[in-house]
Amino acid sequence: MSTRLSQLFVRTLREDPSDAEVTSHRLLVRAGYIRRQAPGIFAWLPLGLRVKAKIEAIIRDEMTAAGAQEVHFPALLPREPYEATGRWTEYGEGMFRLQDRKDTDYLLAPTHEEAFTLLVKDLYSSYKDLPLTLFQIQDKYRDEARPRAGLLRGREFTMKDAYSFDSSDAGLDASYQLQRDAYERIFAKLGLSYVIVKADAGAMGGSKSEEFLHPMEAGEDTFVRSAGGYAANVEAFTTIVPDEIALEGLAEATLLDPHDTPTIATLVEHLNATQPRDAGEWTASETLKNVIVALTHLDGTREIIALGLPGDRDVDMKRVEVAFYPAEVEAAGEADFAKNPLLVKGYIGPQVLGSESESGIRYYVDPRVVSGSSWVTGANEDGVHVRDLVMGRDFAADGVYEIAQVREGDPAPDGSGPIETARGMEIGHVFQLGRKFADALGLKVLDENGKQVTVTMGSYGIGVTRILAVIAESNNDDKGLIWPDNVAPFDVHVVATGKDAVVYEVAEELVSALEGARLDVLFDDRPKVSPGVKFGDAELLGVPQIVVVGRSAGEGIVELWDRRTGERTPVPVAEAVAALTTR
């Protein structure tokens, strides 16, 4: 098949769109692949749609090969099932909600766990019907607070979402592995490098959860990895927990003389100056920092809580969000302190924290704050600190959460060495939902013994439109896009230059011959456009193989131009087809 550029609905732009923050957005708009309709909402022009269809075909083939069956759900869904699972409320402002003419509540589905669960419940009833994996390639909606970066984080976007159904945990493990393997094949075919990281299951609940991250600077996720093979996103990284220490024989807590040490650094300096010891210099990691944050619960109530962690680390608010999901989290403000006079800013100590304490403020600690660990911390009096305050003896916590910053050099939890951090973009997510949705919606089957058992589910997502942007983000140069062969909008871009009739005759023949060889050809047949503009367009559009039919056409010579390497090779026109098809 061939398409003439003179007829193609495209207009390349010299200027970057004013709202484009990332390369893929900039180039996809300039090259006429997509066009903005509203924040985070795009129209697909013919070139963009071709690339999108190729990506979808690759995903569909691998899903089918992995035994998943394609279905298609509506985007517009009724409220009730999402109410039953709690997501109607939990999703907060991120979900588009609307009412029909009868004032019945609907939503535009952000994901379809509920609908898939109910469909299987509707049709299946026995363990013999399982395992089952269903998928769809479908447009989803999320009302992002900050839609950004073009297709990387849109509000209407195409996703492949798959769901597995099993009657046993072992079955779920097998279904999960099949999907995980399929994802590896899909990303390999798409030429996308990836790191599989342990992920927090977040809003979905559930247990085993892994993200496929494509390492890239413009990525939204920070992940950590060790040379020994450990990889996790920061939210899922776990701290190696030190052993507990027996309480007997530990030094008594001692108040230090009042002093003005408003920061951890000045406190450590003060300790080294006034509390010398044989065990070496005091360090910030021996101090216990107590940070007050405010939670806004789903019902709108505001609660302040305290977080205790070693003084050499900051609180990571993203990790706090995960820990206290679905509540919203923010730093406590002056008003919060004013209401809680027991909290002495700069000198907060855990003696007055915890739901059983005088303040009643819930108190959660970093995993390093084990029973028997001794700390220098605030004494809840201006200017006063206390040393040798012991966890489990002098104070207690309501629980332990991963709320501290993760740092390069921290030890990987699996003992595979120190970690480094990198930026990546989530391109796929596989995880075990378990029985959360099946429980909420009553999806049970009869097992071998005729007993009702709740089905266990997995959920597997790939952001189709995001992947297109990620490919563009990782395949370009300063001239424009450079598509990998198997997702390029065309196989070959034939550029006819100059005004000689022979050029166009040779080009037409070549295009026919390429079509005969089953290649998809874009033919720049525009008669009154300069060679410079045509070359610039070819570079911007990014078809990987370009053929220039120019002044040597009369002698039967054309030029093969590799878009990625920039290499230009004259070949006899008779050999061009063979050269282009054997690649």
* Cβ 49 to a second copy shortest distance, Å: 5
Q: Torsion angle of alpha carbons 155, 161, 165, 166, nearest 10°?
A: -110
* Cβ 16 to a second copy shortest distance, Å: 16
- Which residues bind to a second copy, rule: CB under 8 A? 7-11, 32, 35, 37-38, 41-46, 49, 52, 67, 69-78, 93-94, 96-98, 100-101, 106, 108, 115, 119, 122-124, 132, 134, 139, 141, 143, 145, 155-156
Q: How far is CA 410 from CA 48, 365, 441, 559, in A?
A: 43, 18, 42, 54
DSSP category for residue 142: -
Q: What gap in Å lies between CA 142 and CA 112, rounded to an integer?
A: 12
Taking the least distance from each CB to a second copy, the nearer of 91 and 395 is: 91
Q: How far is CA 44 from CA 33, 139, 329, 388, 572, in A?
A: 6, 13, 37, 64, 37
Taking the least distance from each CB to a second copy, the nearer of 73 and 325 is: 73
* Cβ 45 to a second copy shortest distance, Å: 6
Which strands sit side by side in the sheet containing 254-255, from one edge to the other?
254-255, 384-390, 374-381
DSSP category for residue 395: B
Taking the least distance from each CB to a second copy, the nearer of 11 and 339 is: 11
Q: What gap in Å lies between CA 241 and CA 41, rounded to an integer?
A: 45
* Cβ 66 to a second copy shortest distance, Å: 13
* Cβ 37 to a second copy shortest distance, Å: 6
Taking the least distance from each CB to a second copy, the nearer of 135 and 561 is: 135
Contact predicate 223/197, CB 8 Å:
yes
Kind and range of the H or E run holding 473: helix 464-474
* Cβ 77 to a second copy shortest distance, Å: 6
Taking the least distance from each CB to a second copy, the nearer of 417 and 536 is: 536
* Cβ 61 to a second copy shortest distance, Å: 11
The two three-digit tokens of residue 440, written as one number? 């909420």
Contact predicate 95/430, CB 8 Å:
no
Taking the least distance from each CB to a second copy, the nearer of 35 and 302 is: 35
Q: Taking Cα atoms as reference points, which of 408, 573, 500, 488 lies closest to residue 33? A: 488
Q: How far is CA 547 from CA 374, 538, 553, 565, in A?
A: 73, 10, 11, 14
Q: What gap in Å lies between CA 143 and CA 165, rounded to an integer?
A: 29
Taking the least distance from each CB to a second copy, the nearer of 132 and 361 is: 132
Taking the least distance from each CB to a second copy, the nearer of 98 and 241 is: 98
Taking the least distance from each CB to a second copy, the nearer of 106 and 325 is: 106
Q: Taking Cα atoms as reference points, which of 176, 225, 226, 205 lies closest to residue 428? A: 176
The two three-digit tokens of residue 329, written as one number? 């989290």
* Cβ 52 to a second copy shortest distance, Å: 8
* Cβ 311 to a second copy shortest distance, Å: 38
Taking the least distance from each CB to a second copy, the nearer of 159 and 267 is: 159
* Cβ 33 to a second copy shortest distance, Å: 11
Q: How far is CA 97 from CA 82, 115, 279, 437, in A?
A: 11, 16, 61, 21
Taking the least distance from each CB to a second copy, the nearer of 40 and 550 is: 40
* Cβ 234 to a second copy shortest distance, Å: 26
Contacts by residues 322-328 (CB-CB < 8 Å, ≥ 24 positions apart): 322/200, 322/202, 322/235, 323/364, 323/401, 323/402, 323/403, 324/295, 324/401, 325/202, 325/203, 326/90, 326/92, 326/203, 326/298, 327/295, 327/296, 327/297, 327/298, 327/303, 328/92, 328/295, 328/296
